[in-house]
Amino acid sequence: MGWWDSLWSSSRSDDPLGKLDPKLREYLEKESPVKYGAANTTTKRNPTPAEIEATRQAFIEADKNEPAVPAESLYQDGRYAHLWKSYKPLAQIENETKSDHEKLMDVLEGFKDRKEQIGRAALENCALEQSDWRSCMSNPSVTERLTLCRTQVKKFEKCYTQQTRLLKALGYLSTADRSPQVEEEIQMHADALYQKMQAQEAEIDAAKAEGRPLPTFEPLIPKQAVRSIGPERQLTPDQQADLRARLLKVPEEERAAEEAAIRAEFRSKAEISARVHGLWEQQEKERIARKAKGEETVWDKVTGVFKSGENAASSNDNSAEKK
**The pLDDT of residue 10:** 47
Q: What percent of the chain clears pLDDT 70, i.e. is strictly above it? A: 74
**3-state DSSP of the chain:** CHHHHHHHCCCCCCCCCCCCCHHHHHHHHHHCCCCCCCCCCCCCCCCCHHHHHHHHHHHHHHHHHCCCCCCCCCCCCCCCHHHHCCCCCHHHHHHHCCCHHHHHHHHHHHHHHHHHHHHHHHHHHCHHHHHHHHHHHHCCCHHHHHHCCHHHHHHHHHHHHHHHHHHHHCCCCCCCCCCHHHHHHHHHHHHHHHHHHHHHHHHHHHHHHHCCCCCCCCCCCCHHHHHHHCCCCCCCHHHHHHHHHHHHCCCHHHHHHHHHHHHHHHHHHHHHHHHHHHHHHHHHHHHHHHHHHCCCCHHHHHHHHHHHHHHHHHHHHHHHHHC
**The pLDDT of residue 37:** 53
Q: What mean pLDDT, rounded, does the chain reach?
A: 78
Q: What is the pLDDT of residues 268-279, one digit of tens each?
A: 888 888 888 888
Provide mean pLDDT across the span 64-90. 77
Evaluate if residue 257 carries a pLDDT over 90.
Answer: no
Q: What is the pLDDT of residues 44-58, one digit of tens each?
A: 566 777 777 777 777
Evaluate if residue 60 carries a pLDDT over 70.
Answer: no
pLDDT bucket at 147, cuts 50 / 70 / 90: very high
Q: What is the pLDDT of residues 106-115, one digit of tens each?
A: 878 888 888 8
**The pLDDT of residue 18:** 63
**The pLDDT of residue 121:** 95
Evaluate if residue 125 carries a pLDDT over 70.
Answer: yes
**The pLDDT of residue 41:** 43
Evaluate if residue 11 carries a pLDDT over 50.
Answer: no
Q: What is the pLDDT of residues 178-199, one digit of tens each?
A: 788 999 999 999 999 999 999 9
